[in-house]
Structure 1
Amino acid sequence: MNQPLVSVIIPTYNRASLIENAIGSVLRQTYTHWQLVIIDDGSADDTPARVQPFCEAYPGKITYHYQPNQGQAAARNAGLRRCQGEYIASLDSDDEWHADFLAASVEQLTTRNLDLVFLNWVGTYDTEGFTNFYQQPAQQKAYCTTPAGDWWLLAPAQMRQLAIETCPSPSSALIIRRTALAGTWNEQMRIADDWCLLLDTVLSRPCQAAFTLKPHWLKHVHDTNIYDGRFDTALIRDIGLHDEPLMLERFGDRLLPGEKRLFRERIATHHFNFMCLNWANRPGLASMLGHAAQAMRLAPWLTTQAFWERGMRQLKKHTSQAQP
């Protein structure tokens, strides 16, 4: 077969009620030269029974592997070790690709000789994926510069800047050329293993990339998501106060001064926001002062400005309430 093989990893944990839909979305792909590796990360529900009929119907093409619970990054890595394809994709077990997801991705990867592509999505609560991010004037100016039909092409410098500025796509959105991968998913990450993998890749070598704002998959938003649907304080604690500092340490010697400053300012903002969001819970003065001190250490001017702006908002609110 002349078509390149795409290896798809589905990591799953207690998602028996959703995983059949994810597998079904792979089966419905108009691009048919794929391999599906399902890694069960210690599920205690009936996931094996739900998956078994697919493996029996597509022997060798769909495989199932069980491991004790080790986290999503470890599950993805277990899948990666079993991948044989030229391109790698990781579909979360609660997401569903549209039928043209792989065809659209492979066409861009092959015809333009790209290292990676990522595709927009819609959420079950009417969210429009990353559309809003790229509609902002600064992001349009920085990244929406080279159109190619429904796609935007990213030069290596743009892809590097984007990956440092934000995690541009969740795992289910990304397909990457196997030879472009700089390593594996970082198992120290609580949530941002996909972001860390992308940073590993684009900081190791120049990467040509593309993205599309046209939706090509469905994200189910529910209370067991590790990102969407969680409270802000939990996300800040896991990503902003844990994962991002580890990434700054990991990539420190590869970051330019301005890139390091962006990381520090973002982490400082996380400390400040965490302090403000937790204030109502009265966690203790020492804890609040600790977050304030960390924010000041990382980005003193930005933090001072944030304190001033918040203080002025509180003063304005207090004044308006005091007026008869």
Structure 2
Amino acid sequence: MNDLVSIIIPTYNTEKFIGATLQSVQDQTYQNWEIILVDDASTDDTVKIIQDFAANDRRIKLSVLPKNSGNGYARNVALEKATGKYIAYLDADDLWFPTKLEKQIQFLKTNNLPFTFSFYDCIDEDGNSLHRRVEAPLKLTYKQLFFCNYVGNLTAIYDADYFGKVVITATQKRQDWRLWLTIVKQIKETKPVPEPLAFYRIRKDSISSSKVKLIKHNFQVYRDFHGYNLIFSTVLMIRFLFTQLVIKPRYIKTI
């Protein structure tokens, strides 16, 4: 029997996108999954849309926070409720290809890996292709990940029987990068599925759309998460920026 996959989705005011996101999971060729949604006190119709889906699919499980507590907190609450062997992450505005879970679970088992991810394509707010594909090294080491987050949150899956449920402090920015660093540090290296399996939606108000915010949050990973002093963190950040400007562009393809 196929192992259960727990899909973690925090939501906040995503009424425009959440229906398509949930539909992309329902369309999976791999059907043994549960979706754990935790809504962070949305003020739009996000909760109603999820409830409509959940009414017709018992695999969709929703909890609503009494007050807005942040995406990281909502994600951790969802993780606590997960019961699957595999933990997968999906943001409330992104989409999966129909064969995403099937191909990744098979890839994990074939390559004897407890953690993997994949390439992904980029779309705009309206779902139009941006003709950009984000790839990654075919063997991703901890050192490479240390200087660049090659793992798209919407593509990552890890084996909870191997790692346990990996919890990162909810108040920290770049929670996803800190999570992958924690995981890959244990196994030294991993491999991505070498093809796109998801659509990443680039929104005007997202952190990734603001270069200044992104640099600030990445710097705090070296300062707070790794615990390096100001001078060494600055040196590491210079190396990080070199990777972003010189090395990472090799993995961003025009399609």
Structure 2 length-normalised TM: 0.83
Helix, strand or coil at the partner of 1:121: strand
Unaligned runs of 5+ in 2: 125-129, 242-255
Larger radius of gyration: 1
Closer, same or farther: CA 5–238 of 1 in aligned 2, 3 Å: same
Tell whether 2:191 aligns with 1:210.
yes
Closer, same or farther: CA 270–171 of 1 in aligned 2, 3 Å: closer
Closer, same or farther: CA 188–270 of 1 in aligned 2, 3 Å: farther
Alpha-carbon offset, residue 235 of structure 1: 2.1
In structure 2, distance between residues paired with 1:7 and 1:208: 23
In structure 2, distance between residues paired with 1:238 and 1:113: 33
Name the residue aligned to 2:120: 121
The answer to whether the Cα contact below 8 Å between 2:169 and 2:175 also exists between their aligned partners in 1 is: yes
The higher relative CO (CA closer than 8 Å, separation ≥ 6) is in 2
Name the residue aligned to 1:248: 226
The answer to whether the Cα contact below 8 Å between 2:121 and 2:133 also exists between their aligned partners in 1 is: yes
Tell whether 2:212 aligns with 1:233.
yes
**Pairwise CA RMSD of aligned residues?**
2.3
The answer to whether the Cα contact below 8 Å between 1:115 and 1:208 also exists between their aligned partners in 2 is: no
Closer, same or farther: CA 3–208 of 1 in aligned 2, 3 Å: farther
Amino acid paired to 1:219: Y
Amino acid paired to 1:223: K
Name the residue aligned to 2:149: 167
Alpha-carbon offset, residue 264 of structure 1: 4.4
Name the residue aligned to 2:253: none
In structure 2, distance between residues paired with 1:225 and 1:21: 18
Structure 1 moving runs of 4+ over 6 Å: none
Q: Work out which of the residue numbers 89, 110, 134 in structure 2 matches 1:130.
A: 134
Deviations 1:90-147 (A, max 9, x none): 100010000011011000112222111111111115253433xx5xxxxxxxx4xxxx
Name the residue aligned to 1:310: none
Deviates more, 1:180-189 or 1:34-43: 180-189
In structure 2, distance between residues paired with 1:266 and 1:215: 30
Structure 1 length-normalised TM: 0.66
The answer to whether the Cα contact below 8 Å between 2:148 and 2:240 also exists between their aligned partners in 1 is: no
Tell whether 2:237 aligns with 1:267.
yes
Amino acid paired to 1:195: W
Between Structure 1 and Structure 2, how many residues are aligned? 232
Alpha-carbon offset, residue 243 of structure 1: 3.3
Unaligned runs of 5+ in 1: 135-142, 144-151, 253-259, 272-324
Alpha-carbon offset, residue 33 of structure 1: 0.5
Name the residue aligned to 1:96: 95
Name the residue aligned to 1:276: none
Name the residue aligned to 2:204: 223
Closer, same or farther: CA 165–234 of 1 in aligned 2, 3 Å: closer
Identical aligned pairs, as a percentage?
24
